[in-house]
Chain A
Amino acid sequence: MVLLIQYTLIFAAVLTLVALGGCFSEHSGVINLGLEGVMVMGALGGALTLKYLGGNPAPVVVIAVLLVSALSGLVYTVLLGVACINLKADQTLVGTALNILAAAAASIIARTINTAENPDNMSTIIKYTDGRKAFIANFESFEFSWSMLVAVIALVIAYVVLYRTKYGVHLRACGENPQAADSVGINVIKNRWAGVLISGVLGGIGGVVYIMAGVSEWKFELGVAGFGFLALAVMIFGSWKPVNIGLAALLFGFFRALSNVYSGFDWLADLNIPGTVYNMFPYLISLLVLAFTSKNSAAPKAEGIPYDKGQR
């Protein structure tokens, strides 16, 4: 039971972080379908930091990992920003390209580092056993991870910034009606860049939290198994509002956690349902949830449409 709560919280933390990233980007008017790729890049940056700085005092490791993964995500989303904001490219296509590119690039980087250390090591696995411990504080059998706290802080900040500051109003105006925003002197391009870069930061941190959730090594060929898209489903279910996103993340986190721990419950194990079914759950649930919540969408009105000054 403790394990189920622990996994639910940690997966909810990942989903909250990444979904908030998507939320910032979409409120500014850009659909970031490349979040999956952003997560992979953040995970890679974080994993390498964990690997090399793993022996240092815990606070140093935690801060360094968060900074590096945020930076990796941020740098990677520049590719999205240039294409979608400045060059007005198709946002769906760019996002897809970035997802494929991240998986390939991360595998190449991980393998090149492995082979440089040991010519016989041709895997894309990066180990971070020591580094991961820095994030963990044990309360009896419950493994508290500092990343859960990070997610809560991000949630509070996102709420305050989006709904309680002038900047938040400007950002949301760019996603609802950019022409009107421009007419009152709000710089649409600049605000969209801000939204996209924030999504990179949050997506990157979400990536490293994800790979640290239950394991001490990661095979980068695998990417992050559709988690970036689950986060987008969480964002839609949470109707683009931070608090609702947090609640939606808990629900999705619970179903994702089930696939990790179902064998620990006697009555679930007795049902003899193959593990594959549990693996399928989060995707199935999100499909159902989307079917029931997308109809009256609260999506920003101008999301996905490149800003064109001359358009009315």
Chain B
Amino acid sequence: MKNKSILKNDAFQSVAAALICIAAGIFVGYLVLLMINPKGAAEAIMDIIRNFANYPRTTAKVKYLGNTLVKTAPLLMCALSVNFCYKTGLFNIGAAGQYVVGAAASLYGALAWHMPWYVCVLMAMAAGMVWGSFVGILKAYRNVNEVISGIMLNWIALYLTNMLLNTVSESGTPYTTQVKSVNTAALIPGLGLQELFVNRYVTIAIPLSVVIAVIVWVVLSKTKFGFELCATGYNRHAAKYSGMSEKRNVILSTMIGGALAAVGASFLYLSGYEQWQTTQSAVPAMGFNGIAATFLGGLNPIGTIFSSYFIQHITSGGAYLDTNIYPLQIADLITAIIIYLCAFILFFKQLLDRRNASKGGKN
């Protein structure tokens, strides 16, 4: 009896499904490593899983844990963006482009206008809302598939951003000027976190992103607004019939999704951890990894906190591979397989529910 009630529990199902996906993803990664070079494969997969724990000294471990966290914050924000839109029935693959315009707005604010960090974050937010609204407006009024418009907007965002940030790049290099050398006020403060992690990139952006995740959870599951969004996602026509403005809800959710992803970019670029390369010819993977984190987190903002950390842990861990033997893309491969398997989660959940339901009926 007890066993059955655990199986029925939704949270337990989600966690179990996520763990199965992770295990399967890592196993396939291991098989690929085995095929490339069987000798070091076991060691290599352990290097990826250990990530910062590859360092023997505690201070180094803490420092590199910090680096992983610095990149977890923007990933979590992208995942929340995808999550938020998915509740309204929208697949926000445009999070990648919203992330890109966020990087453009925050870096331009910091480097060209010399704004303090909170203004730069707000600028990113505004840019993300505008960029996200395009997807929503096209969907609501012109019936354009959000995945295709999202992809097109991703590329347009990339080229526009490259052009804009080229005006604030270091002379002679394709990289934007370092924020700390021009405008230290634009760096997000650490409030003691930098000393704690012995890492000057660790800022309040990290706890802030977790707080935002909790807020998103509250909005989606405890407020009328969130309920309306979810209702629109379940059945647009029913929502409209019950007096909800389904067009407004679609546009609002893409605007909020856009803001979340864009703020994520400002969290990374205003920590000074990375400079934008104005010659890059591919949309950054952050937005796409956000999709992985969302589904791995069982479409729950709280679960997403953990899944984002895990995806980033694996991605950062990939850097510890011996690149003389193994290609760097193994980590991407593991992530991709996890997303592919996540598509089955819903199927298995339904199967489990149906089995439980039919058993219950017999009793």
| A residues at B contact (CB < 8 Å) | 33, 79, 83, 87-90, 92-98, 100-101, 103-105, 107-108, 111-112, 115, 119, 122, 124, 221-223, 225-226, 229, 232-233, 236, 274, 276-277, 279-280, 283-284, 286-287, 290-292, 294-295, 297
Residue of B nearest to A36 (CB): B151
Known A108-B330, A280-B160; contact A295-B344, beta-carbon cutoff 8 A: no
Q: How far is the CA of A97 from the CA of B335 in the complex (A)?
A: 9
Measured CB to CB, the closest approach of chain B to A152, in angstroms, equals: 26
Measured CB to CB, the closest approach of chain B to A22, in angstroms, equals: 11
Point out the residues of chain B lying under 8 angstroms from A103, CB to CB: 329, 332
Docked-complex contact A226 and B336, CB < 8 angstroms? no
Measured CB to CB, the closest approach of chain A to B268, in angstroms, equals: 20
Docked-complex contact B340 and A79, CB < 8 angstroms? yes
Point out the residues of chain A lying under 8 angstroms from B329, CB to CB: 103-104, 107-108, 111, 221
The answer to whether the Cβ of B148 comes within 8 Å of any Cβ in the partner chain is yes
3 cross-chain pairs, A with B, having the tightest CB-CB distances, nearest first: A101-B336, A89-B343, A104-B332
Point out the residues of chain B lying under 8 angstroms from A225, CB to CB: 155, 281-282
Q: How far is the CA of A147 from the CA of B117 in the complex (A)?
A: 53
* Other A-B pairs, 5, CB within 8 Å; known A93-B91, A96-B93, A291-B142: A92-B91, A122-B323, A223-B282, A286-B152, A290-B148
Docked-complex contact B327 and A111, CB < 8 angstroms? yes
Docked-complex contact B336 and A280, CB < 8 angstroms? no
Docked-complex contact B343 and A94, CB < 8 angstroms? yes
Q: Which of B147, B156, B292, B344 contacts A92, CB < 8 Å?
A: B147
Measured CB to CB, the closest approach of chain B to A9, in angstroms, equals: 23
The answer to whether the Cβ of B138 comes within 8 Å of any Cβ in the partner chain is yes
The answer to whether the Cβ of B32 comes within 8 Å of any Cβ in the partner chain is yes
Docked-complex contact B159 and A279, CB < 8 angstroms? yes
Docked-complex contact A97 and B332, CB < 8 angstroms? no
Measured CB to CB, the closest approach of chain A to B329, in angstroms, equals: 4
Point out the residues of chain B lying under 8 angstroms from A104, CB to CB: 329-330, 332-333, 335-336
- 0/1 string, B321-351, CB within 8 A of A gives 1: 0011101011011011101101110110000
Q: How far is the CA of A223 from the CA of B154 in the complex (A)?
A: 15
**Chain A interface SS verdict (over half):** helix
Point out the residues of chain B lying under 8 angstroms from A107, CB to CB: 327, 329, 332
Q: How far is the CA of A103 from the CA of B331 in the complex (A)?
A: 12
Q: How far is the CA of A104 from the CA of B336 in the complex (A)?
A: 8
Docked-complex contact A83 and B143, CB < 8 angstroms? no
Docked-complex contact A290 and B281, CB < 8 angstroms? no
The answer to whether the Cβ of B153 comes within 8 Å of any Cβ in the partner chain is yes
Docked-complex contact A93 and B295, CB < 8 angstroms? yes
Q: How far is the CA of A100 from the CA of B26 in the complex (A)?
A: 16
16 examples of A-B residue contacts, CB within 8 angstroms: A83-B343, A93-B91, A95-B147, A97-B340, A97-B342, A97-B343, A107-B327, A107-B332, A112-B327, A222-B281, A283-B152, A286-B148, A290-B149, A291-B142, A294-B142, A295-B143
Docked-complex contact B339 and A100, CB < 8 angstroms? yes
Residue of A nearest to B282 (CB): A222
Measured CB to CB, the closest approach of chain A to B124, in angstroms, equals: 21
Point out the residues of chain B lying under 8 angstroms from A115, CB to CB: 325
Known A87-B344, A112-B36, A290-B149; contact A100-B143, beta-carbon cutoff 8 A: no
Docked-complex contact A108 and B340, CB < 8 angstroms? no
Measured CB to CB, the closest approach of chain B to A109, in angstroms, equals: 9
Docked-complex contact A284 and B162, CB < 8 angstroms? no
Docked-complex contact B148 and A232, CB < 8 angstroms? yes
Point out the residues of chain A lying under 8 angstroms from B323, CB to CB: 122
Docked-complex contact A287 and B335, CB < 8 angstroms? no
Docked-complex contact A97 and B339, CB < 8 angstroms? yes
Docked-complex contact B155 and A280, CB < 8 angstroms? yes
Residue of B nearest to A219 (CB): B281
Docked-complex contact B138 and A291, CB < 8 angstroms? yes
The answer to whether the Cβ of B144 comes within 8 Å of any Cβ in the partner chain is yes
The answer to whether the Cβ of B288 comes within 8 Å of any Cβ in the partner chain is yes
Q: Which of B32, B152, B153, B339 contacts A96, CB < 8 Å?
A: B339
